[in-house]
C-alpha cells in the first residue's frame, strides 16, 4: 500500500509538470485504451455498448420477476483456455505451476469458492455471486492434437509496451511480430502472457482484454456473431500469473489481474463506469444496477469511501469488487448482475466459447418496462412502455433524483406508450421506479441518464 501510494503521488507530480494529466493515470488495466480503439473503429461503439447493458439488465429483471426463474437460467458454462507464454528470458518463461495456480484462482473467483469472501462486507454479501462460469485448460489444439493448454514461444521482443505511460502494441498476438497467433478465438479464450514493463516506466499496464463487439467487421450493428478478430482475448504481464510471483508488481500477489481482465472480456466495465475513455464521476455509470455508484477508481480498501450518493439503497463504493482497482488483497466478488451480464454476453456474442448454453429468448413473457432513448438528451422527453400480457393494467412510475427527491409520479397503463417529462431536467442520473398500482409492488427499478 505504501509503495503504491508513493507511485500515485509521483505520477501526479509528473503529470502536472508536463501538463498531460489526461493521459497519465495509474491505469494498471488497459481497458480505457481498448474502448478508445473500439470508438475509433466505430464511433457508435459506446451507444451500442449502452444498449447491450440495457438489454441485459432488462432480461435480468424479467428473470427475477418471473415465477419460473428457477427453471430459466441454471446452466453452468465451461470455457476452454489457452495460455500463450512469450519469453525473452527464463524469468518470463513462467513455470507451469504458476499457470495451474492461476486457473485455480480464476475458477474460485468465478465460482465464488474463493476463501477470501470473508473480506466482503455484510452489506454486499447477499449479492456476491457464483457466476456459474468456469475455465479449463484446453486438452486439444485447433488441429485436434493433444495439448496441455500452454504454448511457449521465444521472442526477440524485450517488452510489448511502447512507451513510459503504459501504452502497448498488440504485437504479442501475431507470430510475425514476435508474438504468437491466436487459436480460433470463437472456440478458445486466448491468454497471452508476456513482458509489459517499459524501461523507466511511469505507469504500468498489468493486463488488458478485448471487450465484446458484435460483428467481425463492424459493418453495422445488427449482426450478432462471435468475433473472429485474431486479437480477441486477454493479455497479462507475466508476473501477475499465479500467486506469490517473485516479480509481482505493487503487492498484487493474489493473481487477480486475470480475474479482472476476464471480467472485461465477458463485457464488464470498471465499477466507476469508465465507458467514455477517461470519463469519471457520479454521472458515469457501469451499467450495472447492483454495483453502487462510485466517482473514480479505488486503489485500496483501507478507506471505505462512499463517493456518490445513490438516491436508492445508497451504499459505499464496492472496493471488494473485482472490477474496481483496489489491490488483490481487497477484491473478492462479482455481483449477481455482473454475473448475469457475463452470461448474457456468452449467450449473445461469444456463443462458441461455452460448452453448454441456454437461450435467454425462451424465457417466458411477463411484465417488462422499456425506457427509450436511454441515455437521453436534455430538452428531450423520454418514452416509457410497460409491456404486459394484460392490457390496461394500472401502474405508477416515479422519478427520483440523485438526492432521493421525487420529481414526479405518473399513472400509466400497460401496453400503451407514455411520455416522461424529462426535457426540463438537468443532466445527470435519475431513477425510474415502476410499481403495480393495486399491490404497490415494485416491478422495475432503472437508471435513466440525461446527458
Ligand atoms: Zn480494467
**415 and 350 part of one domain:** no
Tell me which residue range forms the domain holding 427. 367-450
Measured in angstroms, how far is the CA atom of residue 198 from the centroid of ligand 1? 19
Measured in angstroms, how far is the CA atom of residue 31 from the centroid of ligand 1? 5
pLDDT in tens, 128-187: 999 999 999 999 999 999 999 999 999 999 999 999 988 999 999 999 999 999 999 999
**437 and 334 part of one domain:** no
**439 and 308 part of one domain:** no
Per the CB < 8 A criterion, the answer to whether 162 and 168 are in contact is yes
Per the CB < 8 A criterion, the answer to whether 393 and 387 are in contact is no
Position 141 in a domain = yes
**314 and 371 part of one domain:** no
Per the CB < 8 A criterion, the answer to whether 261 and 105 are in contact is no
**419 and 274 part of one domain:** no
CATH number at residue 439: 2.60.40.1930
Measured in angstroms, how far is the CA atom of residue 168 from the centroid of ligand 1? 15
Measured in angstroms, how far is the CA atom of residue 398 from the centroid of ligand 1? 34
Measured in angstroms, how far is the CA atom of residue 262 from the centroid of ligand 1? 9
Which pLDDT score is estimated for 219? 46
Position 8 in a domain = no
DSSP 95: -
Measured in angstroms, how far is the CA atom of residue 406 from the centroid of ligand 1? 35
Measured in angstroms, how far is the CA atom of residue 46 from the centroid of ligand 1? 16
Beta-sheet strands, E only, within 178-316: 189-194, 207-209, 234-237
- Between helices 45-65 and 336-348, what is the axis angle to 10°? 110
Position 19 in a domain = no
Position 96 in a domain = yes
Measured in angstroms, how far is the CA atom of residue 320 from the centroid of ligand 1? 14
Q: Is the peptide bond before 154 cis (omega within 30 degrees of 0)?
A: no
Measured in angstroms, how far is the CA atom of residue 269 from the centroid of ligand 1? 7
Parallel, antiparallel, or unpaired: how do β-strands 189-194 and 207-209 relate?
A: unpaired
Last residue of a domain, one of 360, 381, 407: 360
**242 and 276 part of one domain:** yes
Measured in angstroms, how far is the CA atom of residue 70 from the centroid of ligand 1? 32
**383 and 245 part of one domain:** no
Measured in angstroms, how far is the CA atom of residue 207 from the centroid of ligand 1? 8
Per the CB < 8 A criterion, the answer to whether 263 and 342 are in contact is yes
**356 and 371 part of one domain:** no
Position 374 in a domain = yes
Measured in angstroms, how far is the CA atom of residue 378 from the centroid of ligand 1? 30
Measured in angstroms, how far is the CA atom of residue 146 from the centroid of ligand 1? 33
**251 and 381 part of one domain:** no
Measured in angstroms, how far is the CA atom of residue 264 from the centroid of ligand 1? 7
Measured in angstroms, how far is the CA atom of residue 41 from the centroid of ligand 1? 20
pLDDT < 70 positions in the chain: 1-26, 66-74, 215-225, 275-280, 355-366, 389
Domains of the chain: total: 2
**321 and 381 part of one domain:** no
Measured in angstroms, how far is the CA atom of residue 311 from the centroid of ligand 1? 27
Measured in angstroms, how far is the CA atom of residue 206 from the centroid of ligand 1? 10
Position 23 in a domain = no
**41 and 112 part of one domain:** yes
Position 94 in a domain = yes
CB atoms within 10 A of CB 47: 13
Measured in angstroms, how far is the CA atom of residue 325 from the centroid of ligand 1? 7
CATH number at residue 41: 3.40.390.10
Which pLDDT score is estimated for 5? 30
Compute the distance between CA of residue 417 and CA of residue 116 in angstroms, rounded to an integer: 47
Measured in angstroms, how far is the CA atom of residue 278 from the centroid of ligand 1? 12
Measured in angstroms, how far is the CA atom of residue 230 from the centroid of ligand 1? 21
Measured in angstroms, how far is the CA atom of residue 365 from the centroid of ligand 1? 35
Which pLDDT score is estimated for 93? 98
Which pLDDT score is estimated for 356? 64
**319 and 374 part of one domain:** no
Last residue of a domain, one of 345, 360, 375: 360
Per the CB < 8 A criterion, the answer to whether 110 and 116 are in contact is no
Last residue of a domain, one of 301, 333, 360: 360
Position 17 in a domain = no
Amino acid at each position: 500500500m505504501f509503495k503504491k501510494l508513493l507511485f500515485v503521488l509521483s505520477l501526479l507530480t509528473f503529470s502536472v509538470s508536463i501538463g498531460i494529466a489526461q493521459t497519465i493515470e495509474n491505469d494498471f488495466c488497459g481497458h480505457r485504451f481498448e474502448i478508445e480503439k473500439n470508438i475509433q473503429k466505430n464511433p457508435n461503439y459506446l451507444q451500442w455498448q449502452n444498449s447491450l447493458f440495457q438489454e441485459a439488465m432488462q432480461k435480468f429483471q424479467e428473470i427475477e420477476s418471473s415465477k419460473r426463474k428457477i427453471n430459466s437460467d441454471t446452466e453452468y458454462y465451461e470455457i476452454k483456455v489457452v495460455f500463450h507464454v512469450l519469453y525473452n528470458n527464463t524469468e518470463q518463461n513462467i513455470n507451469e505451476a504458476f499457470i495451474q495456480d492461476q486457473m485455480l484462482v480464476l475458477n474460485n473467483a468465478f465460482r465464488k469458492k474463493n476463501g477470501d469472501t470473508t473480506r466482503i462486507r455484510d452489506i454486499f454479501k447477499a449479492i456476491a455471486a457464483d457466476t456459474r462460469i468456469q475455465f479449463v485448460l484446453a486438452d486439444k489444439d485447433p488441429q485436434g492434437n493433444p495439448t496441455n493448454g500452454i504454448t511457449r514461444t521465444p521472442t526477440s521482443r524485450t517488452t510489448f509496451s511502447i512507451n513510459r505511460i503504459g501504452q502497448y502494441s498488440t504485437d504479442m498476438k501475431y507470430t510475425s511480430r514476435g508474438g504468437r497467433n491466436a487459436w480460433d478465438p470463437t472456440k478458445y479464450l486466448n491468454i497471452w502472457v508476456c513482458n509489459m514493463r517499459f524501461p523507466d516506466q511511469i505507469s504500468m499496464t498489468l493486463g488488458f482484454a478485448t471487450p465484446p463487439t458484435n460483428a467481425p467487421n463492424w459493418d453495422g450493428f445488427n449482426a450478432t456473431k462471435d468475433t473472429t478478430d485474431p486479437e480477441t482475448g486477454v493479455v497479462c504481464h507475466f508476473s501477475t500469473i499465479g500467486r506469490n510471483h517473485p516479480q509481482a508488481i505493487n503487492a498484487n500477489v493474489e493473481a487477480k489481474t486475470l480475474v479482472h481482465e476476464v471480467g472485461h472480456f465477458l463485457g464488464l466495465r470498471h465499477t466507476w463506469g469508465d465507458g467514455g475513455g477517461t470519463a469519471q464521476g457520479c454521472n458515469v455509470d457501469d451499467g450495472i444496477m447492483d454495483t453502487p455508484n462510485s466517482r473514480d477508481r479505488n486503489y485500496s480498501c483501507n478507506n471505505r469511501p462512499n463517493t456518490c450518493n445513490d438516491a436508492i439503497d445508497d451504499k459505499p463504493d464496492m472496493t471488494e469488487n473485482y472490477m474496481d482497482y483496489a489491490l488483490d488483497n481487497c477484491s473478492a466478488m462479482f455481483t449477481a448482475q455482473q454475473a448475469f451480464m457475463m452470461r448474457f454476453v456468452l449467450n449473445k456474442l461469444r456463443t462458441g466459447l461455452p460448452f453448454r448454453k441456454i437461450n435467454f429468448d425462451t424465457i417466458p413473457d411477463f411484465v417488462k418496462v422499456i425506457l427509450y432513448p436511454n441515455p437521453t438528451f436534455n430538452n428531450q422527453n423520454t418514452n416509457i412502455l410497460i409491456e404486459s400480457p394484460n392490457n390496461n393494467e394500472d401502474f405508477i412510475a416515479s422519478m427520483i433524483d440523485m438526492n432521493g427527491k421525487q420529481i414526479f409520479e405518473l399513472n400509466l397503463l400497460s401496453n400503451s406508450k407514455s411520455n416522461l417529462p424529462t426535457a426540463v431536467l438537468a443532466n445527470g442520473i435519475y431513477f425510474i421506479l415502476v410499481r403495480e398500482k393495486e399491490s404497490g409492488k415494485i416491478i422495475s427499478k432503472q437508471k435513466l441518464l440525461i446527458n
